Structure 1
Amino acid sequence: MLRLPSRFWSWPVMISMAMGSLVPHCHATTSASDPAILLDQAESLQRKDHSRFVQILAQIHNEVPHLTPEERWRFSYLDAWKNAFEGNYSKSETQLHKVIDHADSAILVAKASALLLTNLGINRRYEEAFTLANRLTAELPQIRDPGARYLVLMNLSQMLDFSGQTDLALKYARMMEDSIPPGETRCLPLNLQIAALYNSKQLTSADPKLQQTVDVCTAAQRPVATNSTWLVLSSLYLDENQPRKAMELLDRIGPSVRTNQYHDHMLSAQVERAQAHAKLGNDNEARKAALSAVAMSRPGDISEWLMVAYQLLYQIEKKQGHSAAALAYYEHYVVQDKGYLNDVSARALAYQVAQQHMLVQRLETEKLSKQNNILRLQQALDTKAVETSRLYITLLLVILASIVLWLFRLKRSQLRFMRLSHRDGLTGILNHQHFITEAGRVLRLLEKKLGHACLISIDLDHFKRVNDTYGHAMGDVVLKLAVAICQQHLRPSDLFGRLGGEEFGILLHDCSRKQGLDIANRIRIAIGTTPMEQDGSGVSISASVGLASTDTSGYELQRLCKEADSALYRAKRAGRNRVIADTEDGNLVEA
């Protein structure tokens, strides 16, 4: 299972560990009155003693009228750091923009830009964050100060890993390792490399880089960073189906995780413990650990860890025949799964949009340059003899053609990007977000003309068993073939989308309940009777289908989705490989 860097590092912890360690530590004294000395003391205590750091900032605040312009901007930057650390991102962002726009120090501007990148990432303003990341990448060769360069590289590495650009994230993490400033160690660069390697599936539990990172961070007295690497190793053990090793490692690092009270690590350790118990067949212990993880969450939290916890609870309750509890946990799992996938899609989309904007700006610059060349050529034509005019006109046409070609390529790239943003990368059908948007639009149109529609929810039975038995390559083949089978029974006006994993949604346009049941049953039979093979390996698969109709559920998409999902769950509970729909009187109809 893919784990993003946020599983091991949160933005505030990364910034507090790195930024506070980039200056030599000194002992603050209450008698110091020189603003420059107070600023040095405050910066040295960012990570070491936050309460004392805040006290010194309050002391400097009284000296603001006596500060030089450079000292005032430095104070504004430190105050913005404090506000970000304490969660006041709005105030911090305002201060950082002022520093970036007005400070004369290039070093201070670079540090403020790096911190602003963190704020934007925390608040999920991904498009702005990647636009800023592009600017910092362009300015990186001009950043000479070791501390500022280190911070910029750190934030670029984490932001790119956050968006799935693991190769670039690894590159910047290695650049960090090659340019460590005085007072810093290889701990943070190695941790970022571990995260990028893990997310790009280039890491195994036997990789010596894991132990190397643990040794470096232990020597540097960075327990949070050390635990982060141990938790990566535990995840690798689980991915490699070695639950006993994972459990032994979690027991060993448990006291350190509890002592440091880092929320993400406590949550991930509990979920990994639940996964290990589940793989070992200890369902009761797995339930306890998963419930403990759920209890740590705050209202409205969306994370992959919570998604895994609810999925485990659903599977355990379902296995033990507790249908009501299983359904409740499944609903929580769906919320977490969809929220997590939406956030991942938003990050990837923002990264691509930022790249497109940068491409447009580059092309606009090239276009203006070429237009200037055209004007110079036109002036030259006035001074040339008639016998050379045809040559210049030909050259002019070539340049104009090149501009048209560039614009055509840009437009084609934008159209292709728009298509890709609406489609699922594996199957080519609508992705979850676009399917929901289009389904809502179609239902509103049908409601105006009193048309009919059916919403079908399809889930491939025991699909995890296919991945576990035959591998993910066969799983991808099964998903693609199942999509192809469905498309054979759909009309051009029907909407077809992948809702996540092995779950699909279909909106049948201008379709009565009876017609919808017939189509759903034909799809189910076709999936169950079509052989699925790859490289000589064959696999049988079936599908459970739930149906909801506007005849009884109305035209509200949320209600249709809820009732179709409810019918799907009942189909699975009734033995799978069947179609179930709600009737007008609230009973079930099985096709």
Structure 2
Amino acid sequence: MNWFSRIAVFSLLLMWASAAVAADAAFLLAEADRLKSADRERFGILMSQLRDIEQSFTAEENSFYRYLDAYSVTLSGDFTSAVTLFEQLIKDSSTSHAAFRAKVTLVNIYTVSRRYNKAFEISEEIIRNADQLNDTKVKEQAFRVLALLYNTVGDYSSGYFFADEIVQKTSNATSRCAAWQLKIEAMYYVDHSEGFYSQYEQALSSCKEAGEKLFEAIIVIYRARQLIDISLNHDALTLLLDYLEVASSTQYPQVMSAFNALIAKAYFYKDDFLNAEKFALLALDAGVKTEFSEPLTWAYEVLYLTNKKMAKFQVALDYHEKFLQFDKAYLDNLSAGQLAMNMARSATQVKSQQIALLNKDNDLLLLQKNVYEQEVKQNRLAMMLLFSVLTIASFIAYRAVTGRRRFKKIAEYDQLTGISNRYHFNNQAKIALDYCESNAKPVALILFDLDFFKSINDTYGHAAGDWTLQAVVKTCRNFMRNNDVFGRIGGEEFAVVLPGCQVDKAVLLAEICRDAIATIDTSESGYIFPLSASFGVSSSDTSGYQLKQLLADADNAMYQSKQAGRDRVSEFSH
């Protein structure tokens, strides 16, 4: 064989080797993308193999590899580093397929890390361009992330819409499973009917078929929550323990925290306080320590109630403070998300109106050019158009002002009863307490809880429960002054701060409210049932001027009322 022949053979071998590497790269990238959430261990192995052949990637393959690398950082929980990697990818290759997916994933990260303004800033753009997306897979990913975002901020109708779009139209098993998980979450908050169970079974079957254990575990979480809500605690416990191994295999902190917290809840309602405490502590260990999540709130509530039941009152009080802290943080996060969503929608609407206004301004300029060439009739037409533009501008300004007022009301007041929500109550109560302390005035706090409210919901339905809450608030407000701070701080739990009021007057007001609640005619709800409440009263004389201490002492007094047979008022004393 001469030198020319040898060189030709060598060149052919190099071309074959390059083609083989290219084929391997495309296959490994596609396989890593498929398994990135279904099998994290296999995903890590594939990324290691891709790292070895990184130098042979094309520009598009390199962008795709960088996207998967950033995604792997996201799975580790290091969102700050992941955001940096995704933003750099978008900057370096803004028009690539991977860059668009990076934008969608950024919405996901911003949602999880509660940077809602950033999330909605990108999501509004995604929604506007959704119909122009030709890549079905990317469109499904975008809709899935949008469903997650809207579910997170409590807009479950929108979350259901985007998730159901994927469930109905996708042919990809993994994509359908992920969408089912989000649809079940939205259904849990919107629809507690019998239809939930049949949808749950379809969702679970879909995720088992796709081999997506993470989403399977999350679907089980919402089924268990529904079972606990309707007092089927044994069924919930059996379901959770059966799937505990599946949840552990996901290696996902939030999932393990939720499983352990719900197991703790189920044990508590079965009066197994030792196991309830054990699994609540496991939920705290499994959760992300820097995160105010709903599962951690459940865990602290179970620890508070469990220690209270076991008469460990100091420990219970410590956990109660933690529970209030996490519950407030969770509610604040939900309010912040809803406010960011409304602000993003308002900004989009204002931009559209501004564009319309600019278009009208352009029309006006064209008409003004003709004004100089026409007679008085044209001048009158121009004046009419100018008046129309001013009217539109005034209308836009009015809508912006009323929109801000509406968003403020949504963020501060309980939508069902019309009184302050927990967040607004805390703020207003602290203002009143600071004023009383600086002016040496007394202050009292009344805390009351409706007796057997859960049985009203279970027996007569949530509509009757909602009517009951509204009737109680309407009745009690008749006896309060304008400067009293009245708020709903829990499901059926209410608090009143009474500036300048001695404890004996507060006890008398509590007795009046207790008696008025007991005499409410429930027939207007469509049902006749007994109604009563247990009250606890604390004051600055014994508890000082700190809201946290006043609430804790009033809660102890209310607990005494519950223990003494309910439907009574108890005053806190050391």
Give structure 1 stretches of 5+ with no counterpart.
1-29
Structure 1 residues 317-326 or 562-571, which shifts more?
317-326
- Matched-pair contact (CA < 8 Å) for 1:453–1:508: yes
CA deviation vs aligned residue, 1:250-270 (integer Å, no higher than 9, x gap): 455455445555555545445
Relative to structure 1, the CA distance from residue 240 to residue 342 in structure 2 (aligned partners, 3 Å threshold; closer, same or farther) is same
2:538 paired residue among 544, 547, 561? 547
CA deviation vs aligned residue, 1:155-176 (integer Å, no higher than 9, x gap): 1122222223333223322333
How far apart are the structure 2 equivalents of 1:108 and 1:452? 64
* Correspondence 1:43-62 to 2 at 5 A: 44-45=31-32, 47=36, 48=39, 49-56=42-49, 59=52
Q: TM-score, normalised to structure 2's length?
A: 0.82
Instruction: Quote how far apart the aligned CAs of 1:144 are.
Output: 2.0
- Matched-pair contact (CA < 8 Å) for 1:43–1:78: no
1:294 paired residue among 271, 275, 281? 281
1:478 to 2:458 alignment: no
* Correspondence 1:420-439 to 2 at 5 A: 420-439=410-429
Write the letter of the residue equivalent to 2:279. S
Write the letter of the residue equivalent to 1:545. G
1:125 to 2:111 alignment: no
Write the letter of the residue equivalent to 2:539. A
Relative to structure 1, the CA distance from residue 208 to residue 432 in structure 2 (aligned partners, 3 Å threshold; closer, same or farther) is closer
What residue number does 2:403 align with?
A: 413
**Structure 2 counterpart SS, 1:539:** coil
CA deviation vs aligned residue, 1:314-347 (integer Å, no higher than 9, x gap): 6666667776676566555544544433333333
- Matched-pair contact (CA < 8 Å) for 1:524–1:545: no
What residue number does 2:144 align with?
A: 154
How far apart are the structure 2 equivalents of 1:146 and 1:490? 59
1:441 to 2:434 alignment: no
What residue number does 1:361 align with?
A: 351
- Matched-pair contact (CA < 8 Å) for 2:164–2:183: yes
Relative to structure 1, the CA distance from residue 497 to residue 60 in structure 2 (aligned partners, 3 Å threshold; closer, same or farther) is farther
1:490 to 2:480 alignment: yes
What residue number does 1:100 align with?
A: 90
Instruction: Quote how far apart the aligned CAs of 1:201 are.
Output: 0.9
CA deviation vs aligned residue, 1:96-143 (integer Å, no higher than 9, x gap): 223334424242222011111121122112232222222211122232
Relative to structure 1, the CA distance from residue 214 to residue 580 in structure 2 (aligned partners, 3 Å threshold; closer, same or farther) is closer
**Structure 1 counterpart SS, 2:372:** helix
Relative to structure 1, the CA distance from residue 259 to residue 198 in structure 2 (aligned partners, 3 Å threshold; closer, same or farther) is same
Query: How big is the alpha-carbon RMSD for the aligned residues of Structure 1 and Structure 2?
Result: 3.6
- Matched-pair contact (CA < 8 Å) for 1:306–1:336: yes
What residue number does 1:26 align with?
A: none
How far apart are the structure 2 equivalents of 1:288 and 1:341? 28
- Matched-pair contact (CA < 8 Å) for 1:291–1:309: no
What residue number does 1:86 align with?
A: 76
What residue number does 1:18 align with?
A: none
**Structure 1 counterpart SS, 2:449:** strand
**Structure 2 counterpart SS, 1:373:** helix
Relative to structure 1, the CA distance from residue 517 to residue 167 in structure 2 (aligned partners, 3 Å threshold; closer, same or farther) is closer
**Structure 2 counterpart SS, 1:297:** helix
Instruction: Quote how far apart the aligned CAs of 1:45 are.
Output: 2.8
Instruction: Quote how far apart the aligned CAs of 1:78 are.
Output: 3.2
1:468 paired residue among 434, 458, 464? 458
- Matched-pair contact (CA < 8 Å) for 2:488–2:495: yes
- Matched-pair contact (CA < 8 Å) for 2:32–2:47: no
Write the letter of the residue equivalent to 1:400. L
How far apart are the structure 2 equivalents of 1:39 and 1:81? 18
CA deviation vs aligned residue, 1:185-226 (integer Å, no higher than 9, x gap): 633233333333333216636754443333333333333434
How far apart are the structure 1 equivalents of 2:18 and 2:76? 27
CA deviation vs aligned residue, 1:438-466 (integer Å, no higher than 9, x gap): 22223333444434332332222332233
**Structure 1 counterpart SS, 2:489:** strand
1:458 to 2:448 alignment: yes
1:390 to 2:380 alignment: yes
Instruction: Quote how far apart the aligned CAs of 1:478 are.
Output: 2.0
CA deviation vs aligned residue, 1:504-543 (integer Å, no higher than 9, x gap): 2222233334443433333333333444432252422123
Write the letter of the residue equivalent to 2:156. T
How far apart are the structure 2 equivalents of 1:283 and 1:512? 39
1:175 to 2:175 alignment: no
What residue number does 1:5 align with?
A: none
How far apart are the structure 1 equivalents of 2:412 and 2:234? 42
Relative to structure 1, the CA distance from residue 68 to residue 54 in structure 2 (aligned partners, 3 Å threshold; closer, same or farther) is closer
- Matched-pair contact (CA < 8 Å) for 1:147–1:181: no
Relative to structure 1, the CA distance from residue 453 to residue 474 in structure 2 (aligned partners, 3 Å threshold; closer, same or farther) is same
Instruction: Quote how far apart the aligned CAs of 1:484 are.
Output: 1.6
How far apart are the structure 1 equivalents of 2:95 and 2:467? 56
Structure 1 residues 436-445 or 499-508, which shifts more?
436-445
Structure 1 residues 496-505 or 556-565, which shifts more?
556-565
How far apart are the structure 1 equivalents of 2:475 and 2:276? 41
**Structure 2 counterpart SS, 1:506:** strand
* Correspondence 1:153-552 to 2 at 5 A: 153-177=143-167, 180=170, 186-201=176-191, 204=194, 207-243=197-233, 245-246=235-236, 249-250=239-240, 252-260=242-250, 262-273=252-263, 282-284=270-272, 287-289=274-276, 291-298=278-285, 299=289, 302-308=292-298, 311=301, 330-331=320-321, 333-533=323-523, 534-549=525-540, 551-552=541-542
- Matched-pair contact (CA < 8 Å) for 1:270–1:289: no
How far apart are the structure 1 equivalents of 2:148 and 2:469? 32
- Matched-pair contact (CA < 8 Å) for 2:116–2:340: yes
CA deviation vs aligned residue, 1:265-319 (integer Å, no higher than 9, x gap): 545445555555666xx423x6415532432323566444454455556666666
- Matched-pair contact (CA < 8 Å) for 1:117–1:133: yes
Structure 1 residues 469-478 or 331-340, which shifts more?
331-340
How far apart are the structure 1 equivalents of 2:84 and 2:175? 32
Instruction: Quote how far apart the aligned CAs of 1:95 are.
Output: 2.3
What residue number does 1:10 align with?
A: none
Relative to structure 1, the CA distance from residue 441 to residue 371 in structure 2 (aligned partners, 3 Å threshold; closer, same or farther) is farther
Aligned residue pairs total: 548
**Structure 2 counterpart SS, 1:459:** strand
Of Structure 1 and Structure 2, the greater helix share is in 2
Instruction: Quote how far apart the aligned CAs of 1:358 are.
Output: 1.9
How far apart are the structure 2 equivalents of 1:452 and 1:155? 52
How far apart are the structure 1 equivalents of 2:321 and 2:546? 19
Write the letter of the residue equivalent to 2:45. R
Relative to structure 1, the CA distance from residue 296 to residue 536 in structure 2 (aligned partners, 3 Å threshold; closer, same or farther) is closer
Report the identity percentage: 28
Write the letter of the residue equivalent to 1:45. A
CA deviation vs aligned residue, 1:448-507 (integer Å, no higher than 9, x gap): 443433233222233223323333222222211221222112221222111121222222
Instruction: Quote how far apart the aligned CAs of 1:422 are.
Output: 1.4
Instruction: Quote how far apart the aligned CAs of 1:425 are.
Output: 0.5
- Matched-pair contact (CA < 8 Å) for 1:494–1:506: yes
How far apart are the structure 2 equivalents of 1:203 and 1:275? 22
**Structure 2 counterpart SS, 1:454:** strand
How far apart are the structure 2 equivalents of 1:235 and 1:440? 34
- Matched-pair contact (CA < 8 Å) for 1:547–1:579: no
**Structure 1 counterpart SS, 2:206:** helix
Structure 1 residues 184-193 or 467-476, which shifts more?
184-193
